[in-house]
A and B are shown apart, each in its own frame.
Chain A
Amino acid sequence: MRETVKLISMEGFEFVIDREAAMVSQTIRSMLTSPGGFSESKDGVVTFPDISTTILEKICQYFYWSLQYSRGKETKFHIEPELTLELMMAANYLHT
């Protein structure tokens, strides 16, 4: 079990985040825990050729905010309006 996972955006940016944070996304969670020797679960690296860096960055922030929120820290999560649409679609894709 690795402590961190690496998420790679379409431009090739690598975001290294905690495994727990990444698992907020159901899609990533299934990927990492599915049996069968997928390289994703073994290496802990997931590539998203369709998600831009900006969006991916925002998503990572969201993961952490979500964890904090569930632990009781009830703050607001600010979304820049121009990112909204892409963010929603990414969320759908990632089942978050």
Chain B
Amino acid sequence: MVFGRIDRPIIFWEDGSSIIDESVTKLKRILEGKPETAFVTEQYMKNYTTIYDMCTQKPPENYSDQLYNKFRGIFEEYAKQTVLPSIMEKHDEYMLREFSQRWDINKIMVKWLSHFFFYLDRFYTARANLPNLNKAGMTCFRDHVYESIHFNAKQVIIALIHKEREDQQIDRALLKNVLDLFVQNGMESMDRYENDFEKFFLEETTSYYSRKASSWIQADTCPEYMIKAEESLKKEKERVTHYLHSDTEPKLIKGVQDVLLVSVAKDLLEMEDSGCSALLRDDKTDDLARMYRLYHAIPKGLEPVSEAFRLHVTSEGNTLIRQAEDKATNNNVVEQDVIRRIIDLHHKYMVYVTECFQNHTLFYKALKQAFEIFCNKKVAGISSAELLAMFCDNFFKKSLNDKSNDESTIESTIENVVKLLDYISDKDHFAEFYRKKLARRLLLDRNFNDEHERTILTKLKAQFGGQFTSKMEGMLTDMQLAKEHHSGFDTYIGNSGKPKGMDFTVTVLTTGFWPSYKTSDLNLPLEMVSCIESFKAYYETKTKHRKLMLIYSLGNCHLNGRFDSKPIELIVSTYQAAVLCAFNNTERLTYQELLEQLNLGHEDLARVLHSLSCSKYKILNKEPATKTISKTDSFEFNSKFTDKLRRIRVPLPPIDDRRRVVEDVDNDRRYAIDACLVRIMKSRKVFSHQQLVSECIEQLSRMFKPDIKVIKKRIEDLIGREFLERDTENPNTYKYVA
């Protein structure tokens, strides 16, 4: 240290060097655990100062270069003379242990000597562009020890891991230390670890598991194999936490998965009697959940599983439909049963999707596709849309009488219906059937639960849009309004002072909402005419400019029949009442006379007469007493008629309007297709045929599946009506005509 005191002695190389050597030897002895006194006071200072001096002296006594080389030399020599031989003379685990310990010693030595030689790092190493002391020390170890040992070390490590895989105990801490060593000897990068160890480890792992896979797949069932596979993956993950570097984990897991799961996927999943389909068949939810867990991590691994699921559900559904067909007798399908079973099936497999398959979209899709296939099949000629509507109808009727159905059952049934409707492609058919049945419920049965009806409409609206339910909601509103009119009318009659005549009520329906009903210009019996007139007058006071059209086909009448034995109250339709009242004046009437008097059509009259003379209750006697009505028959009031009940309902056989419903809907569809096509062309202006057709199908798919032929026809029609035109150059393209 030149402190301005010239008397400070210059330290020459040999002296300085020997001081250092002394310390180094001492250090080695300490590190090797040999008996040695600890460094005494001043020794640190002495070493540091010596080196400091030697570096700051003016040349030629500036020994920085030599000191750096000496530093390196210390490690090199130590490595060659002592470290390497001591490792090489051992084998297996002992060798690893020695390797690990020597590495730790080396680290400490580097640190200590760096303290002494520290001054070099402050200026010299950077200026001379040399690696710093720490790096130099480590590099020595790497070049002279690691390079020679790592191959053998790797062999030993892999052998130990193999031992552990065969369920034997090994020294995990040792492995961790040695593998850390590999990592650290890569200096800044992982390439030593990767190239000298990891590569071989992964190879060994894949061949190990590949052997296992082949033997397992021969001997085990699918569930057993899966359990073993899961176990192996778990153990390998643990292995990483115990001693492997975390970078290895993804590569390891992928390797094991590839061998255990991917390459055997086909054999495993399609295994006879225990593969995917069998597990579904036997409801083995645990095994299926395991299968999901295992294949979830593999890209595209779940596709075969979801495919098997879809096929299984489809076949279950098809079986269900077939069974229903078999059970159906004379078109008398027990729709309650079928729909209930479909709902149950849906529920069962939805649980699978949520629990076994963790809500994965692939399985939702599979379930949806499966249901869409068999939900659109007909059962004994009746479409599923109609079946569902029938189901709802019966359900609502029953729930009125059956008080045991509590609110939550009703709520959940309604929800299930809505879910099922989602799978049916002809939703508009359902809407129409439902609407017709709703009308019957509201008008004929009179007892309906407004709340329940509204609940299902709300849910349908939420799922399918307001347009789907707007008419039906209107119907319900009409019924509410009708009640108000009833009381209003009563007040009116009371106020007018006129006698009311017979007891009657009128329900006013808004035309657009309700299904269209045939009406006829029935000649009412006189008694009824005045009632109608007074109601019309009342209605005029409420709203002007509205035309009331009377639909007699829907009305109900209570007649008192004065029969010989006892009077019986007859509940009949208005038509039937009109016919019966005609007999108030005469005993006997022919078919022709009745036809003229009442101004009814043939079809209606025949039906009515049939119900009064050829069915269960013979209120009229027919001549000749055949089973069918003919135009030459004549009728007579049957005063001898009686029944044990005091009040009987004489039903009119309902018309089978299924075909009409389908026709009506098909008509509506044509309008919908037209509107859709025009809408699309208006926004696109120019569109090719293919694109137009596919977009149209997509937009309409919410309601129904349009027939391509019909679409084509509608396009032609629109061209004729000059909404669209064909492009002159390209006949496959259409242009919008504004």
Contact = CB atoms under 8 A, between A and B. Distances in A.
A binds B: yes
Nearest to B38: A37
A5 B280 CA distance: 78
Interface stretch (B107-115, B205-213, B411-419): B107-115
Interface string B28-70: 0010000000111111110011001000100000000000000
Contact of A47 (B3, B45, B52): B45
Contacts of B49: 49-50, 93
Nearest to B109: A36
B644 interface: no
A31 interface: yes
B111 A35 contact: yes
B1 interface: yes
Given A36-B30, A37-B30, A89-B3, A45 B41 contact: yes
Contact of A85 (B4, B40, B52, B118): B4
B320 to A, nearest CB: 79
A69 interface: no
B122 interface: yes
B127 to A, nearest CB: 15
Given A38-B38, A40-B41, A50 B1 contact: yes
A31 B52 contact: no
Interface in A16-41: 27, 30-31, 34-40
B708 interface: no
Contacts of A42: 38
A64 to B, nearest CB: 23
Interface string B136-163: 0000000000000000000000000000
A47 B333 CA distance: 109
Given A27-B48, A30-B118, A86-B4, A35 B108 contact: yes
B2 interface: yes
B38 A39 contact: yes
A86 B38 contact: no
Contacts of B111: 34-35
A58 interface: no
A1 B111 CA distance: 21
Contacts of A90: 3
Q: Which 3 A-B pairs have the closest CB atoms?
A: A37-B38, A39-B41, A38-B39
Contacts of A46: 45
A38 B122 contact: no
Contacts of A31: 44-45, 48, 115
A13 B44 CA distance: 20
Size category of the A interface is: 20 to 34
Contacts of B108: 35-36
Contacts of A45: 41
A92 B49 CA distance: 12
B112 A36 contact: yes
Majority secondary structure of chain B interface residues (helix, strand, loop or mixed): helix
Contact of B41 (A30, A36, A43, A92): A43
Contacts, number: 66
A77 B2 CA distance: 25
A95 B115 CA distance: 12
B556 to A, nearest CB: 98
Contacts of B43: 38-39
A17 B112 CA distance: 25
Contacts of A30: 115, 118
A83 to B, nearest CB: 11
Given A27-B118, A34-B111, 19 more contacts: A31-B45, A34-B112, A35-B108, A35-B112, A36-B30, A36-B39, A36-B112, A38-B38, A39-B40, A39-B43, A40-B41, A40-B45, A43-B41, A47-B45, A48-B45, A50-B1, A50-B3, A50-B8, A89-B1
A49 B43 CA distance: 12
A30 B52 CA distance: 15
Nearest to A31: B44
Contacts of B42: 39, 47
A34 B23 CA distance: 15
Contacts of B8: 50
B52 A93 contact: yes
Contacts of B4: 85-86
A95 B671 CA distance: 93
Nearest to A41: B44
A42 to B, nearest CB: 8
30 contacts: A27-B48, A31-B45, A31-B48, A31-B115, A34-B112, A35-B112, A36-B38, A36-B39, A36-B108, A37-B38, A37-B39, A38-B38, A38-B43, A38-B44, A39-B39, A39-B44, A40-B41, A40-B45, A42-B38, A47-B41, A48-B45, A49-B45, A50-B8, A52-B3, A86-B3, A86-B4, A90-B3, A93-B49, A93-B52, A95-B122
A95 B55 CA distance: 14
A39 B52 CA distance: 20
Contact of A89 (B2, B38, B44): B2
Nearest to B1: A50
Contacts of B45: 31, 40, 46-49
Nearest to B47: A38
Contacts of A48: 45
Contacts of A36: 27, 30, 38-39, 108, 112
Nearest to B39: A38
Contacts of A95: 118, 122
Question: Which of B3, B48, B111 has most A Cβ within 10 Å?
Answer: B3
Interface string B195-225: 0000000000000000000000000000000
Nearest to B114: A30
B118 A93 contact: no
A93 B51 CA distance: 11
Contacts of A89: 1-3
Nearest to A55: B3
Contacts of A93: 1, 49, 52
Nearest to B46: A49
A32 to B, nearest CB: 10
A44 to B, nearest CB: 11
B726 to A, nearest CB: 86
Given A86-B3, A86-B4, A89-B3, A34 B41 contact: no
A85 B115 CA distance: 25
Contact of A34 (B44, B52, B56): B44
Interface in B341-376: none
A37 B27 CA distance: 11
Interface in A71-96: 85-86, 89-90, 92-93, 95
A49 to B, nearest CB: 8
A95 B40 CA distance: 23
A50 B11 CA distance: 14
Contacts of A27: 48, 118
Contacts of B41: 39-40, 43, 45, 47
A13 to B, nearest CB: 16
A54 to B, nearest CB: 12
Contacts of B27: 36
Given A39-B38, A39-B43, A40-B41, A34 B115 contact: yes
Contacts of A92: 56
Instruction: Name the residue among A30, A47, A95 with the largest chain B CB count within 10 angstroms.
Output: A30
